[in-house]
Structure 1
Amino acid sequence: MAQDKLRLIPLGGLGEFGMNCMALRWQDDIIVIDAGLMFPEEELLGVDIVVPDISYLTENRTKVKAIILTHGHEDHIGGLPWILSELNVPVYGTEFTLALAEGKLDEHRLLDDADLIEMIPGKKFSIGPFTIQPIHVTHSLVDCVAVAIHTPVGVVLHTGDFKVDLSPPDGKAFDLQAFADLGKNGGVLALLQDSTNVDRKGWTPSERAVRPRLDEIFGQTKKKLFFSCFSSSVTRIALAFDLAAKHGRKVAVIGRSMDNATEIAQDLGYLKVPQGLIINPGQMRDFAPEKLLVMISGTQGEPMSALSRAAVNNHKFAKIEAGDTVLMSSRVIPGNEKGIYRVIDHLERRDALVIHDDGTNGLIHVSGHGSQEELKLMINLVQPKFFIPVHGDYRHLKRHVELALSTGVPQKAILMEDGEILELTKDTAQKNGKVTTGRVCIDSGGTIDVVEDVVIRDRQHLSEDGIVIAIVAIDKRTGQSEGVPEIVMRGFAMDDAQLIGESRAIVKRTLEGSSAEERQDYGVIKEKIRGDLKRFIQKSTSRRPLIMPVIMEI
């Protein structure tokens, strides 16, 4: 009997934001939708990214036929290098999604062996018993799709991330007709729907809704305008370029992620830039401040991002001066508040005008996810028999089940978590068993090294390479370092007075080469000390100890 059942197995993204990964299995064929990552919390020392445990896929490696990507955000494609290093299977995605994936795979030296296949919205293709129908949806990124998977027991529709934008800036509207056709042709068996904005009433505004306020800001800004948004928000970047041309400003692009995204978007025609609009950051000094727009990465307050460094006057090109305007056109991702407000404090100290999405400055950012009315619209359009919320914390999934049932459409709404197996026939949907799931911590310094467990990883790190603690006292008021930095080494070179002395000199040099503002910002100064010490110790000893700067506030 189990052979005649379709199995849905979420491996990530149901119970947390990020790490989105869903397996569908029919008999001996498995396809995977999305391969996302999460960024680690501060307490995960030595961890770069967190990806889903794919034990279930590796145990069934001969059955895994393909990975299908809905769009190019990190929480949907960021885990791809990790999965492809274990399972080299074909990867399907739209043109822009694959361009972003290529960059990731190239970085990990996996591109030459990867089989990347472009899929076109509206054009069906088959993988074993599955027929895949990509459907164009709108989101905060271009070239996004939902996937309708036609299986022997019925259609499973995975929305990916979406909102219903009928007048997007790129002119490619949400494909309502395709979803309506699915509903008319007997409805879908199961709808897997994005839960991100289930708490928000009403409709999510169109991306075009930000233009009037941004246009006003461009017109009012008297000096340099620094514009920060998610580097993947190509339509927002295109709008900023368009307004720069309208208001006679040249554009300098600063920050690796922003640079990469604009280059890919230009190559693929999503970003049309007038001749001579973009200048090299080194040319900024040749133009009057009122003639400059600086597109800069770091909208979430990341300690070593371009905006964070510019905020403490530690960027080669981005010099933020009194009277400049800094526009942060993005939402605050929960957990990032401290870093973002720290950067804003530094910008205010520089007497810059900071405009961010605090609810009082007008519409400078809109979400890429559908609110309650869009979620209900999708349910009513496709007429699902069964409903499974995806992408969200447990509370979001629970709220989404309640919302779906309130429409009166699904016969049954099922709240699932990572690892649970849902078995579907044409008439039934039942949970049956669990598979191994969890978080795998990755240290991606050049190669992909798995951190099996944080505690084990720390013990191994300490036993093999030891620990170096740099203790620095800093006067909070003045930013001056007090006394001589103390270096404590455990696990290696404990008696090497020369190494300790040279390490102390490195820390001292880092402090002396930093501005008072940087020294007062413990996030920035700790990263600088860690980076400089790490380079020195690796070069001197070929070891990678755990380096922990400790800042004592006096």
Structure 2
Amino acid sequence: MKHELDLSTPPSLPKRGLRVTPLGGLGEIGRNMTVFEHKGKLLIVDCGVLFPEENQPGINVILPDFSSIRGRLNDIEAIVLTHGHEDHIGGVPYLLRERKDIPVIGSELTLAFLSAKLEEHRIVPKLIEVEEGQRRTMGPFDLEFLAVNHSIPDGLAIAIRTEAGLVLHTGDFKMDQFPLDKRLTDLPGFARLGDEGVDLFLVDSTNAEVPGFTMTEEDIRPAIDAVFRTAPRRIIVSSFASHVHRIQQVIDAAVLNKRKVAFVGRSMVRNMGIAEKLGFLNIPKGVLVDAKALERMKDNQAVLICTGSQGEPMAALARMANREHTIQIGEGDTVLLASSLIPGNENSIYRVINGLTRWGANVVHKGNAKVHVSGHASAGELVYCYNLIEPKNVLPVHGEWRHLKANADLAIRTGVPADQVLIVEDGIVVDLVDGVAKVTGRVAAELVFVDGMTVGGEGADKALADRLQLSNDGAVTILGILDTDTGKLAEPVEFISRGFVHDSEWVAGATKAINDAMAVANKSSRVDGRAAEEIFTASVSRWMQRKYRRMPVITSVVVDA
């Protein structure tokens, strides 16, 4: 077991070798993407997004870094999608912008969710629908698809056969024995592949630290039913817009308690409409109504299902908490957060909970009721898979460092040799040659920011740093008039500040810092406009840091007298 941080570009891949390069999803929860290379061709499994944290203001989403494959787009045989969550499909439109005819392979629901997303990007994709039990050849890759259950229907594990060996990629999965859709994870299929000989096992690590087995979806039904039985007024449920199983449980509880349901939010309305049309969501006739229709009903008959369970500032629930939504939260309303708490989102989520509580809502969440179960396999399930499959090499995927390490430890405890269990991060290249997996190099795998309509760009990191600096220290603009004949200021400088409180003492100190610096500079040579701007910025920055321990963004403008 090893990881390498100081690696160079990998050497040429041996003719019968298979190269595996994760470009996202390792060391983080999100932007999952893995590139497989064999015989000069590429296969991509998943292409998702990562959602920004609080220290990344103004960023929409974060993409995998495509730079290592950008010069080889024509070598890509297909993009294979394991399931329809944003952290696995959200990046596909951005990759298809670079080559629109890449075939995209996935299950019915996954491709339906993706198609709706691609319509917004005005991309007409080349889609190949598959289902569990099928096999399909794409170039040198022989693909087999196996059913897995997760927190979204129609998930698939992918078996990839090549001349270099057999790879099994679980995608996101768990082993729920009582799934709502009766679709079990295909453990007989896993066992069959194990008998054939799995040379490399890529396995979901998210819950590797959690002992035992993940609870079934059925286990949370009593808590949801209790909310519906006891809520005196409206019930507002917040969930991921793709969590079809959880929405089904909410609808079932609404039917049982004679309540009407309305979806709120564009993505929720779109996805649930798709799920119902394809038969993955069962809504009895007359239960679903328009959100405006609920306004005419009694409060104890209304259920609203919206997005925003992670505290996203623009999502419906956060806007309700801030009194910025047409739906006004009031005394006696019940808000049910029916989803997990993703690491890094804690502050945002609790800010929303506090806001809702302030307006009188009773907020039910994972911290005070059993209203969520994970969609990922816990340690007991992972150990079961290792013993069932007996892989030769293991590459833990989908998780932060602590999850990857915990998963690797489980593999070793079941008998996989330690030097055949690889803990790597995004961009680390692993080659499978003659049945042995080894780290052979590194490629670029930087965070690629989507900022409004801009994707990446050389100035993205600098712009983000400036935003953080502005949020912490504010901004100061310095205006000066220069006598170009003498190199001296014709008038005292003026200051305009934003996000920084200054008084006459500050103005006097900053003015003195500039005047002293200009005097020193003019002793050497006559100062021109460009030099004066640099002097303004540098002198005030030094003085501010020394005097106030502040570093505002300073912009200096000097005009000729």
> Under a length normalisation based on structure 2, what TM-score does the superposition of the two structures give?
0.79
Residue 296 (structure 1) aligned with residue 288 (structure 2): no
2:443 is matched with 435
Structure 2 equivalent of residue 119 of structure 1? 130
What does the per-residue CA deviation read over 1:242-275, in whole Å, with 9 as the maximum and x for residues that have no partner?
A: 1111110011111222212211111111111111
Establish whether residue 281 from structure 1 lines up as the match of residue 291 from structure 2: yes
CA drift of 1:444 comes to 4.1
- Counterpart in 2 of 1:190? 200
1:77 to 77, 89, 106: 89
Which residue of structure 2 lines up, in the alignment, with residue 8 of structure 1? 20
Could you tell me how far apart the structure 2 residues matched to 1:422 and 1:23 are?
10
Is contact 1:443–1:451 with CA below 8 Å preserved after alignment? no
Partner of 1:99: 112
Any idea what the Cα deviations from partners look like across 1:427-477, whole Å, max 9, x if unmatched?
A: 3222212222212112243xx533335344469x99xxxx999x99xxxxx
Q: d(CA) in 1 for partners of 2:393 and 2:362?
A: 50
Q: Structure 1: how far apart are the matches of 2:450 and 2:290?
A: 35
Instruction: Provide structure 1 residue ranges, at least 5 long, that are not aligned to the other structure.
Output: 473-486, 492-547, 549-554
Where structure 2 has 5 or more consecutive residues not aligned to the other structure, the ranges are 1-12, 480-552, 554-561
User: What is the aligned partner in structure 2 of residue 162 from structure 1?
Assistant: 173
Distance in 2, Cα, partners of 1:290 & 1:275: 20
- Of 212, 215, 229, 1:202 maps to 212
- 2:382 maps to 375
- Residue 19 of structure 1: SS of its match in structure 2? coil
- Given candidates 440, 453, 460, the residue that maps to 1:454 is 460
CA distance in 2, matches of 1:449, 1:312: 30
How far residue 299 of structure 1 moved from its aligned partner, in angstroms, is 1.1
Is contact 2:52-2:61 (8 Å) kept?
Answer: yes
CA distance in structure 1 between the partners assigned to 2:333 and 2:444 by the alignment: 52
Aligned to 2:396: 389
Post-superposition CA distance 1:49-70 (Å, at most 9, x none):
2111112211222321111011
User: Secondary structure of 1:86's partner?
Assistant: coil
Of 164-173 and 450-459, the range deviating more from structure 2: 450-459
Instruction: Confirm or deny: 8 A CA contact 2:307 2:315 kept in the other structure.
Output: yes
Q: In the aligned structure 1, how far is the partner of 2:201 from the partner of 2:311?
A: 36
- Report deviation, 1:490: 9.2
Matches within 5 A, 1:502-513: none
- The aligned amino acid for 2:405 is K
Equivalent pair of 2:448/2:455 in contact (CA under 8 Å):
no
For 1:282 and 1:398, locate their aligned partners in 2 and report how far apart those are by CA, in whole Å.
49
Instruction: Indicate conservation of the 8 Å contact 2:169/2:203, yes or no.
Output: yes
Q: Which has the higher contact order (CA 8 A, sep 6+)?
A: 2
C-alpha displacement of 1:385:
0.5
Distance 2:333 2:344 in 1: 28
Query: Cα deviation per residue 1:30-57 (whole Å; 9 max; x = unaligned)?
Result: 1011101112233334422211111221
* Matching of residues 67-466 of structure 1 within 5 Å: 67-88=79-100, 89-110=102-123, 112=124, 114-185=125-196, 187-316=197-326, 318-358=327-367, 360-361=368-369, 363-409=370-416, 412-445=420-453, 449-457=455-463
Q: Could you give the per-residue CA deviations for residues 365-403 of structure 1, whole angstroms, max 9, x where no partner exists?
A: 000011001111111122211011011122221222111
Taking structure 1 as reference, are residues 232 and 489 closer, same or farther at Cα in structure 2, changes over 3 Å only?
farther
What code does the residue aligned with 1:148 have? A
Structure 1 stretch displaced more, 94-103 or 344-353: 344-353
- 3-state SS in 2 of match to 1:269: coil
Mapping of 1:462-481 within 5 angstroms?
Answer: none
CA RMSD of aligned residues (A): 2.5
3-state DSSP class of the match of 1:253? strand
Q: Find the aligned partners of 1:145 and 1:307 in 2 and give their Cα distance.
A: 31
Distance in 2, matches of 1:235 and 1:87, equals 34
Q: Secondary structure at the match of 1:279?
A: coil
Q: Give 2:484's aligned residue.
A: none
Residues 44 and 353 (structure 1), Cα distance of their counterparts in 2 relative to 1, 3 Å cut: closer
1:319: how far off? Answer: 2.7
- Greater Cα shift, 380-389 or 409-418: 409-418
Alignment-mate amino acid for residue 443 of structure 2 = V
Aligned to 2:494: none
Check the 8 A contact 1:266/1:272 in 2, yes or no: yes
Displacement, 1:315?
2.1
Q: Is the 8 A contact 1:167 1:206 kept in 2?
A: yes
Counterparts of 1:62 and 1:228, CA distance in 2: 42
- Matches of residues 522-533 of structure 1 in structure 2 within 5 Å? none
| Aligned amino acid, residue 166 of structure 1 | Q
- When residues 490 and 42 of structure 1 are mapped into structure 2, their CA distance, relative to the original with a 3 A threshold, is farther
One-letter identity of the residue aligned with 2:180? P
Name the counterpart of 2:533.
none
What stretches of structure 1 move > 4 A for 4+ residues in a row? 456-459, 487-491
Question: 32, 37, 43: which is aligned to 2:55?
Answer: 43
Judged with a 3 Å threshold, the aligned counterparts in structure 2 of structure 1 residues 246 and 202 are, in CA distance, closer, same or farther, namely same
In 2: Cα distance, 1:416 partner to 1:303 partner:
33
Q: In 2, distance between residues paired with 1:378 and 1:59?
A: 37
Q: Distance in 2 between matches of 1:170 and 1:377?
A: 23
Aligned partners of 2:53 and 2:345 also within 8 Å? no
Change over 3 Å in CA distance of 1:490–1:346 after alignment to 2: farther
Deviation of residue 313 (structure 1)? 3.2
Q: CA deviation at 1:200?
A: 0.5
- Alignment CA distance shift 1:56-1:292 (3 Å): same
Asked which structure has the greater CA Rg, the reply is 2
